């Protein structure tokens, strides 16, 4: 099979979107530039704009395009930039996918539509992804995110989609399922990414090529170090780093979501700031708990 060539191996940072402290909560491109300048010092494989922790559903398409252009202009040429293009109709996703391709995206990250989730059969999902992959000039990466969509794209469906020459990989957060996807697609040049830094190491042991996470936006250094150690078969040393990532990953991403990630960014020298409403700031005791977990695990 002649797959579209884009090597996803390594750590991809799913970046947060900074906003200005004004009534419009405009995108703060100056702070985005400052954050990217810091991320550029870390050996990431690439950037993803348009993940859950980028608050993608809260952005206009014009903002999405401008964020992409900003990050693309700042990223080293060796690093790819992927853009989320999830929308609720195939036409909407296709239109946005074509727009980000024209604006310089190297790939798209695409979830299943979920407003009419009861009608999202395997055939519907396959048709959605293949219709888009047939047309756009850049590769498609499937994003299976049942926590948001309420739809768990099954291993068999992912296997069907992996046959498409322009669908090059999947990001999935189910540690048990990742191994099955790797095994099912092992002869298809199909790349499998872990969604969570907290279980990245077992995912790599099962044959995943890397990971994409919001946690990399604050702890990219140790996450990349862990990946490098795993590549060198230094599993014991890598496990020592993984132990320090599990609690921050659970607390910041699974427990409290984007407001917690942004609070941690502010603690660790990045600009986090506030989320777009309706997401509200965290209570002071939660902020204190985040700080304590980061300190206990050697990150502060």
Whether 171 is a known active-site residue: answer yes
**Residues near 147 by Cβ (< 8 Å), separated by ≥ 6?**
173
4-29 confidence digits (pLDDT tens): 689 999 999 999 999 999 999 999 99
> What pLDDT shows up at residue 1?
47
Residues in the chain: 300
Tokens of 253: 């991403």
Strand segments, DSSP code E, in the chain are 10-14, 46-49, 80-84, 107-110, 140-144, 167-172, 191-194, 210-213
Which pLDDT value is given to residue 3? Answer: 60
Neighbours of 254 (CB within 10 A): 13
DSSP state letter for 112:
P
pTM, full prediction? 0.95
Catalytic residue among 72, 79, 171, 262: 171
Does residue 2 surpass a pLDDT of 80? no
């Amino acid at each position: 099979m002649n797959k579209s060539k884009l090597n996803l191996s390594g750590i991809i940072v799913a970046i947060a979107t900074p906003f200005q402290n004004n009534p419009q909560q405009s995108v703060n491109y100056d702070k985005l530039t400052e954050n990217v300048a810091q991320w550029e010092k870390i050996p990431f494989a690439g950037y993803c704009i348009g993940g859950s922790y980028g608050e993608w559903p809260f952005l206009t398409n014009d903002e999405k395009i401008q964020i992409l252009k900003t990050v693309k202009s700042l990223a080293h040429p060796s690093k790819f930039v992927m853009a989320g293009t999830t929308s609720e109709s195939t036409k909407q996703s296709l239109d946005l996918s074509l727009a980000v391709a024209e604006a310089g995206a190297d790939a798209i990250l695409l979830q299943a539509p979920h407003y009419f989730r009861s009608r999202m059969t395997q055939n519907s999902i396959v048709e959605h992804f293949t219709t888009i992959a047939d047309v756009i000039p850049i590769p498609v990466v499937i994003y299976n995110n049942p926590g948001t969509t309420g739809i768990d794209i099954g291993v068999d469906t992912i296997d069907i989609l992996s046959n498409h020459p322009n669908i090059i990989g999947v990001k999935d957060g189910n540690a048990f399922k990742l191994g099955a996807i790797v095994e099912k697609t092992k002869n298809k040049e199909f790349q499998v990414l872990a969604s969570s830094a907290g279980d990245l190491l077992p995912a790599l042991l099962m044959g995943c090529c890397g990971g994409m996470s919001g946690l990399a936006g604050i702890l990219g250094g140790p996450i990349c170090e862990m990946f490098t150690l795993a590549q060198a078969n230094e599993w014991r040393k890598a496990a020592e780093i993984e132990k320090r990532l599990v609690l921050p990953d659970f607390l910041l991403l699974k427990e409290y979501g984007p407001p917690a990630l942004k609070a941690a960014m502010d603690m660790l020298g990045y600009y986090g700031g506030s989320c777009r409403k309706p997401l509200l700031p965290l209570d002071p005791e939660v902020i204190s708990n985040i700080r304590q977990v980061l300190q206990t695990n050697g990150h502060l």
